[in-house]
A and B are shown apart, each in its own frame.
Chain A
Amino acid sequence: MIEHIPIWWYLTLSAVLFGLGVAGFIYRKSVITVFMSIELMLNAVNLTFVTFSYQNKNIDGHIYSFFVMVVAAAEAAVGLAIILTIFKNRGTLQIDEIDSMKL
């Protein structure tokens, strides 16, 4: 049994979560789920910030991840309002069907 966890396990976990977020972003077809994948990517980046903060014994990383959280909350509010507007105007949440900017 490993006594203490190496730092690179945390960083790798963060990379895996980021990869899953990218996969969901590309793979899913519902606007809401694509949005949730973006949140997953932001969370993965936060884990990296906190890990490096631990490694350098410096609190700045925590502050950065706090700011990421604040911006993500603001982005979620605006993004969900945009999704509401799209649904009101077009009556669908499928990404493939929202193509009015397509040439």
Chain B
Amino acid sequence: MRYRLQFVLLIAAAVVVATGSSFRKAAAEGSLGRIFSHNTRAHKTGKYSNCSSCHSLPTRNWTTPRRDKLPAFPDVRTFPSHTSCFGCHTKDIYSAGGAFCGTCHVVPTMRARAVLAFPIRSHPSQFTTLFPHSTHQDLIAEKRNDSDFMAAHFIPAAFVVSDEKPKVPTFYNCSICHQNLVQIPKNVPRKLTLFKPLSEPAADTFTRPVTAEFFKDSPDGHESCFNCHYQFKNLPEEKKGCNACHELSPPYLEKKVIQRYSLKFDHQRPGHVEKDCTACHLRITQNKDVRAMKDADVPILSCKACHATQEDDEWKHILTTEIEKRETSIANKQPAFQCTYCHTSAIGRYEIPPSHR
């Protein structure tokens, strides 16, 4: 009996190992092409633990036009040179018709010349980004001009130096990295796991049509970081390298989808636009690691400050009004009222969280 159990476990373990290795192989050589892994012992130990043993900053091609259409700036724009690979992989180049070359080259042969666009966007990311909002909040403007904050979110070049003497100084603030979007991004309601829906989805109505300006961008490359940190400047001594911002992680595919509880929230709306970002993003000055950010970082407490007051204007007590409507509908055994001022039906039909009351 015991031997049979051991045999079954052994077979199961073998299946797991085989499946895992074939998955890795498929990922490495399958439809995505060969994927270089930074996370192998050989690629992350010894001299290779230093990123600059393979990558140079900037690469020689930095002046060429960029895929993202930004003005060219010194950046890592292509793969490491052959010398980085050939030290250990000479044999691989001469086997399988040079399939190994397909890791970086368009054509996987020994005669390959053109390289793939770098970085390869279809490949999973192998690094997460480290960013301490708290330290950056300590350093950016102590004081800023209100009109500047309202009207002048920085243009994509980030730190702009004007030739003309400006009437008001441009203070560095959140808009260095977070600007209004110019195109509506893919957006979905967040998934509610702790609450139950009380009614069926309903058609959404919008008093203000959703525009790109409802949403803010986040850095997607080196451009805003390099304004202060090019070649690892202005970093703590122990962080003067790529590891200041990049940490190895299990491969993952980046989702360029904005998830929100309140799809109807408009950052640019009067009443919102003139506010300091930290007036609502209450946790942001505390955040030491961007990966630890909780949801959108806007607790309902921020909304209550203006939308759950005793004042007469409807929108100033809309939160309490909608809660009352929900409770009345349930008490009258009618279909549960769906909250619509901030939420689409995907969220507004769910139970009201205790935090809202």
Q: Do A and B bind each other?
A: no
Could you tell me which B residues sit within 8 Å of A by CB distance? none
